[in-house]
Amino acid sequence: MKILVINCGSSSLKYQLIDMDNESVVAKGLCERIGIEGSMLTHKAAGKEDYVVEKAMPTHVTAIEMVMEALQDATYGVIKDTSEIAAVGHRVLHAGTVYSDSIIVNEDVKRVIKECFDLGPLHNPANLMGIEACEKAMPGTPNIAVWDTGFGMKMPEKAYLYAIPYEYFEKYSLRRYGFHGTSHMFVSGEALKFANLDPGKGKVIVCHLGNGSSISASIGGKCVDTSMGLTPLEGLIMGTRSGDVDAAVVQYICNKENKDVNEVLNILNKKSGVLGISGVSSDFRDLGKAADEGNERAKTALDAFVYRVAKYIGAYAAALNGVDAIAFTAGVGENDMKARKDICSYLGYLGVEIDDEANNCRGKRQMISTPDSKVKVMVLPTNEELAIARETLRLVQ
Ligand code: ADP
């Protein structure tokens, strides 16, 4: 059975066609610059040459039509007919407090996605366009929504409430939601298996460290806490996002720099994080290089990043009352052995011991702790598309 996974951004659309009989990627691709001049589709199919189409894509509907053509193309395609696609799984950012479990899209689901435009102003409108485009291109084929907030929605009230007047939660559902949900769901589930833990009781901390970074604590795959909040701004220090700051910082910058709240929020989202501290780059490879060349602020940015992750691991080990496994994932987590080593150097009190030789790895599933380590530490590449495809299969079967 083949499942198409769609991830729509405001001007992009990523897709993967996955054969669920062996969970292999049959084809994948990317539509870029949707609604902007110079749009193009890049399509890659297993065992075939890459196929690039440069053609105007005024909307996501045109983008989906082009994806369908590429998938059925005589030379570069992989299916004869769209009827070979059993279902489409969509990554959808936000369902507010209405849904947490993945769901087959109907009119009510679309209404909820629309009602949450405020909560996900860049993503939810694009996600809805993607769903509607698929409905048009493949009438009768089920569309499934897999929520990026789904994993965090399972955290308990004491973890999701902000300590502000309760009426704001009641009136606006203003609470912590958490993001990167499909990644945390996938990696925590796989970590339980890889570390041979009790599937219902294993205590796992997942460090999703990329350009956007977040961390989660779960028991038996169920979220206990996660670091992002109402928006992806809260928590760890990221490429360009500040993570946790005293809210009074916003007022202070407004007053001193004569800016309004929106401008300062833009600074906290786009000009802060390791980029803000270092003034060098948001990219960890650039920072590592600059630090090696003696750039002190790049070094400070990396130190602060590592320290914040270690601090959260400590907090989550307390929230879980112990931890069985720690998994590193995403661009930095999967590739940056120095960051992993530096983070773990704070964790001796938990009985964490890293095997330097095993830690010398990139982008592959590997245990990096010693056999004697009290906590199993691993690199576990995330696979959000596969997580979405598995959810889709579960719902249509
Ligand atoms: P996004 O949040 O955009 O999905 P990714 O998970 O792709 O981000 O992570 C991107 C980050 O991973 C970049 O900062 C990049 O520098 C970092 N990265 C990728 N490869 C390496 C590497 N070999 N060493 C250090 N950092 C790396």
Ligand 1 pocket mutation pick from 179, 285, 302, 380 by most atoms within 8 angstroms of CB: 285
Are 2-147 and 197-384 the same fold in CATH?
A: yes
Confirm if 322 and 203 have CB atoms less than 8 A apart.
yes
How far is Cα 31 from Cα 9, in angstroms, rounded to an integer?
10
Token representation of residue 269: 């989202």
Distance 379 CA to ligand 1 centre (A): 14
pLDDT of residue 9: 87
Give the residue, by CA position, lying nearest to ligand 1 atom 1. 211
- Name the CATH superfamily, with its identifier, for domain 2-147: ATPase, nucleotide binding domain (3.30.420.40)
Distance 179 CA to ligand 1 centre (A): 18
How far is Cα 80 from Cα 319, in angstroms, rounded to an integer?
52
How far is Cα 313 from Cα 322, in angstroms, rounded to an integer?
11
Is 285 touching ligand 1 by the criterion CB < 6 Å? yes
pLDDT of residue 290: 98
Q: What are phi and psi of 90, to 5 degrees?
A: -115, 135
pLDDT of residue 104: 98
Ligand 1 pocket mutation pick from 207, 211, 289 by most atoms within 8 angstroms of CB: 211
pLDDT of residue 308: 99
Spatial strand order of the sheet with 366-367 comes to 222-226, 213-219, 203-209, 325-329, 376-379, 366-367
Low-confidence stretches of the chain (pLDDT < 50) are none
Give the residue, by CA position, lying nearest to ligand 1 atom 7. 331
Give the residue, by CA position, lying nearest to ligand 1 atom 12. 331
Question: Closest Cα to residue 250, out of 263, 238, 264?
Answer: 264
Question: Closest Cα to residue 217, out of 209, 232, 229, 207?
Answer: 207
Give the residue, by CA position, lying nearest to ligand 1 atom 24. 336
How far is Cα 255 from Cα 61, in angstroms, rounded to an integer?
44
Q: What are phi and psi of 357, to 5 degrees?
A: -65, -45
Token representation of residue 22: 């062996």
Amino acid present at 367: M
What b-and-e string marks burial along 43-71, b requiring 16 or more CB atoms within 10 Å of the CB? bbbeeeeebebeeebeebbbbbebbbbbb
pLDDT of residue 122: 86
Is 339 touching ligand 1 by the criterion CB < 6 Å? no
Give me the DSSP letters along 87-150.
EEEEEE---TTT--S-EE--HHHHHHHHHTTTTSTTTHHHHHHHHHHHHHHSTT--EEEEETTT
Could you state, in order of their start, the residue ranges of all structural domains in the chain? 2-147, 197-384
How far is Cα 387 from Cα 187, in angstroms, rounded to an integer?
9
Instruction: Say what the pTM is.
Output: 0.95
Distance 369 CA to ligand 1 centre (A): 22
Spatial strand order of the sheet with 103-104 comes to 51-54, 40-45, 24-32, 13-19, 2-8, 85-92, 143-147, 103-104
Give me the DSSP letters along 309-333.
HHHHHHHHHHHHTS-SEEEEEHHHH
User: Which CATH topology does 197-384 take?
Assistant: Nucleotidyltransferase; domain 5 (3.30.420)
Amino acid present at 387: A
